[in-house]
Amino acid sequence: MILEREQINRYLRHIIMPEISGSGQRKLLESTVFICGESVQAAAPAIYYLASSGIGQINCCFELPEGFDKLAASIRDLNSDVSISLADGKAGELRIFLGGPEFICRQSDKITTDFVPAIIAFYNGWQGAIGVYQEQAAARSLLATLAAGQPPVAACSNDKLQRGIFAFCFAGALCAMEVVKLALTIGQTPDGLLTFNLWSMEFSKIAQQDSARMAAALSALLSEDFPEISLEGGKALIVGAGGLGSPVAYALAAAGIGTIGVVDYDTVEISNLNRQILHTASRIGMPKVKSAAIFLEELNPRLVVNSYNTGLTKENVYDILAGYHVVIVAVDNFPARFLLNDACFFAGKPMIDAGVMRFDGTAMTITTPVGHCYRCTLPEIPSGGTTPSCSETGVLGSLPGIMGFIQAAEAAKLLSGQGQLLNKRLIYFDGLYSSFSTLTLIKSENCALCGTNPTICGLQDYDFVCADDAD
């Protein structure tokens, strides 16, 4: 047997993927990663997803190390296979550098001296970039271009961290995905720089040799300013406390939202822990909503967490939705999506949906009657067995993090009334090739729910409805 039985159960969603399988998971467990972060808070999402994926040794270095002991204890409870420690050197087969642009510039010597493959990720407000550098010359080129943009020489601050929460969470999950791909030599890493703007939900790839475009993109990234937002009075309902629900709740709680409702009838299992970062091994067997509340209230003591340890039905859905400003769909079955879509339409509430499978993910925001509804894109619930679930095909642990953090950013913009939403667009992410695509969505005049002549005038019978989140 390649892995111990407990490890097989823990990494089951990885092992059933041919690209990873048992031998690949063993390789991850034998890997060592060095992560150099501007602060513990900024690097924490990356570390959570590295640990949940089974990276065996995580060596850390921070400019602001406050909070490391607390994070390390949480990581050890999440995955006892992982060893995490502070390290003054750069020990690691792979290196991650994550922080603001000025922080990255200050790490120039660490990045280029005794060079090993490095993932460089930086953020400014709601936007940022990530690049994977396997040659010293390419890393030096990026650093020179970044320095030429004359980023301010400023230390990390709480205000700066607060304004960058969604960007550094998103960048951290991307870093974890790239580490897995590099360790297993699968897929393709970004050739140059992958830039992202979560305020406008725009993504682009810039080739390293395209120096003019690279300089322009970095200049825009350094100079862009975003308004401050407050989520203190916001109330978000998250249906599903698993792979997608975990990053959504994590980012919204860290960003200071006032109230989060969590719906899930399931209990924590060891097979959840390769991707569901709200939970830990010591809480196996505990209702997920209770486990989630423990994590979230420790992350943000001022947060109000409402727990609904139940499945959704057409009889209880309106009562549960009442009082929330936005509904976030973090489930892994079509009946639950259709129930929520219909209920949100009749209740007049915006809904943010995402889905994941293997290395691929999608996300969209539904704000009927302004835009399309879910039935505009998929008129009928697929019959059982026609669409495989990620429990059958597997899912890379950091993928739900990437898509969930997109959902969290969308929720924050909805709650604040700012930014550009995905209400007429769908984001498709191909994780193996680090590629984001945007599809335009159109409201269907023939839609049975929101079209010109609707035939659905109330909630239907939805078979197998649950709040299960196997993603």
- 173-226: pLDDT as tens digits: 999 999 999 999 999 887 789 999 999 999 999 988 888 888 888 888 888 778
Tell whether pTM > 0.85.
Answer: yes
- The strand pairing partners of 327, in sequence order, are 237, 351
- 379-417: pLDDT as tens digits: 988 876 556 666 678 999 999 999 999 999 999 999 999
Q: Which of 218, 45, 68 lies closest to 129, judged by CA? A: 218
In this prediction, residue 386 carries a pLDDT of 57
Domains of the chain (ranges, CATH numbers): 31-223 (3.40.50.720), 235-440 (3.40.50.720)
- 412-466: pLDDT as tens digits: 999 999 999 998 999 999 999 999 999 999 999 999 999 999 999 999 988 754 4
- 250-269: pLDDT as tens digits: 999 999 999 999 999 999 99
In this prediction, residue 467 carries a pLDDT of 41
- 69-115: pLDDT as tens digits: 999 999 999 999 999 999 876 677 899 999 999 999 999 999 998 88
Alpha-carbon distance of 471 to 469, in angstroms, equals 5
CA dihedral over 307, 312, 316, 320, signed as positive or negative: positive
Average pLDDT over residues 352-360: 96
User: How far apart, in Å, are the Cα atoms of 341 and each of 123, 335, 366, 381, 407?
Assistant: 33, 10, 8, 12, 16
CB 62 within 8 A of CB 4: no
User: How far apart, in Å, are the Cα atoms of 73 and each of 36, 61, 67, 159, 282?
Assistant: 19, 16, 10, 26, 12
In this prediction, residue 111 carries a pLDDT of 92
The pairing of beta strand 83-86 with beta strand 202-206: unpaired
Helix or strand or coil: residue 102?
helix
CB 278 within 8 A of CB 205: no
Active site residues: 390
- 232-241: pLDDT as tens digits: 999 999 999 9
